[in-house]
Amino acid sequence: MNVQIDFPALAGSHAGVCYLDSAATTLKPRCVIDAVGWFLQEGTSAVHRGIHPRSLTATDRFESTRERIAEWFLADAEEVVLTSGATDAIHLVRCGLRDLNSVVYTVMEHHSNYVPWMDVANHHCLGVDGDGQIDLETLGEQLRGGVDLVAITHQSNVLGSITRLEEIVELTHRHGAMILVDAAQSAAHDPPDFGGLGIDFLACSAHKMLGPSGSGALLVARHVQDRLRPVRFGGNMVSAVHGETFELQSPPHCFEAGTPAIESVIGWGAAIDYLDQLSPAGISHYLSELTDRAANQLAAIDGVRLVSTSDPHRGPLVAFTIEGMEANAVVKILGNDQIFLRAGYHCAQPLHEHLGMGPSIRASFQVYNTPADIDRLTERIASLARVAG
């Protein structure tokens, strides 16, 4: 995909940047920057509460993003709760779900989908194999013991593995439990079919979908909306307030207290439009080619150990280590060459410990990356590995 021209962070004085940290946050195309700029310069107004033209226009553009999110995940707009990000979305389920007594999650979850469940009365963490897959029989055993919720990522941000959602959702529902899917890593290129799969809750973030920081969403299926209560109270989420009583708005607005990140949400809508023009299928195919190229070239370097799944159906990232070199040192050295990677546990320390390893190096890809980026990365990694060896 020849789209680098659309991204100011790769143009002009930044033309030499090789940005390979998109699993952490993505670069923003010009259309997103323009949409945010429109609101800040021309469209600034409160949404939902005003009846003057500027407020109505801002509200229309704000609500159109809700509709675009719903279309992207094949859900209904009334099922889309706008949040400050995926972490906030998961927090809403953790704190708002009535009678939550038993949760199952996995060792490969991002900390935002791991830490919240640790103080639930009955919680169980499932292990994964080297390809990042859980054992369905073990999950079934847990479910037969009585579970309220299964919380699982769609794509690991370390292994790149794609979980078998169709089987996991079916098994979870067969035993009367609900499921929360963390789709933060997959949303931009492999959005789960929320309605078709029958997912109960889905969390995602704008900043991993070429959008601004500060906004995200929790998709809440209609049949479980009455089981979720608001965790924040204030303006907009109420339809009326009297001396000692108040009336909530209908979902999704009853879960959205206070003034939202309006410019971020509007920018997110522009990002989804941009992604839609490229098409999820086209994005997924292109990123798969880049990931295969990176994995194959890195695997051929002496002293490099791949951490990522061997399954060809994987997310657009490769994690690895170099024998004799600390991950942080590698990333600092390459950063001086304008090659930007991520080092550490990637907010998934339990998974690293489960795999018996320390911090890793992660290269992650998006539509603005090219085969030349991959070659530049692997050439430098090969050079470092030779020195370390």
Strand runs labelled E in 37-155: 80-83, 102-106, 122-126, 149-153
Whether the bond between 252 and the residue before it is cis, its omega within 30 degrees of 0, is yes
Active-site annotation holder among 31, 95, 125, 347: 347
385 within 8 A of 322, measured Cβ to Cβ: yes
338 within 8 A of 111, measured Cβ to Cβ: no
Distance CA 216, CA 218 (A): 7
Torsion of CA 166, 171, 176, 180, to 10 degrees: -50
Could you confirm whether 254 is annotated as catalytic?
no
Distance CA 286, CA 284 (A): 6
- Residue 388 structure tokens: 């370390």
Instruction: State the CB neighbour count (10 A cutoff) for residue 244.
Output: 5
The type of residue at 263 is E
The type of residue at 16 is G
69 within 8 A of 91, measured Cβ to Cβ: no
Catalytic residues: 347
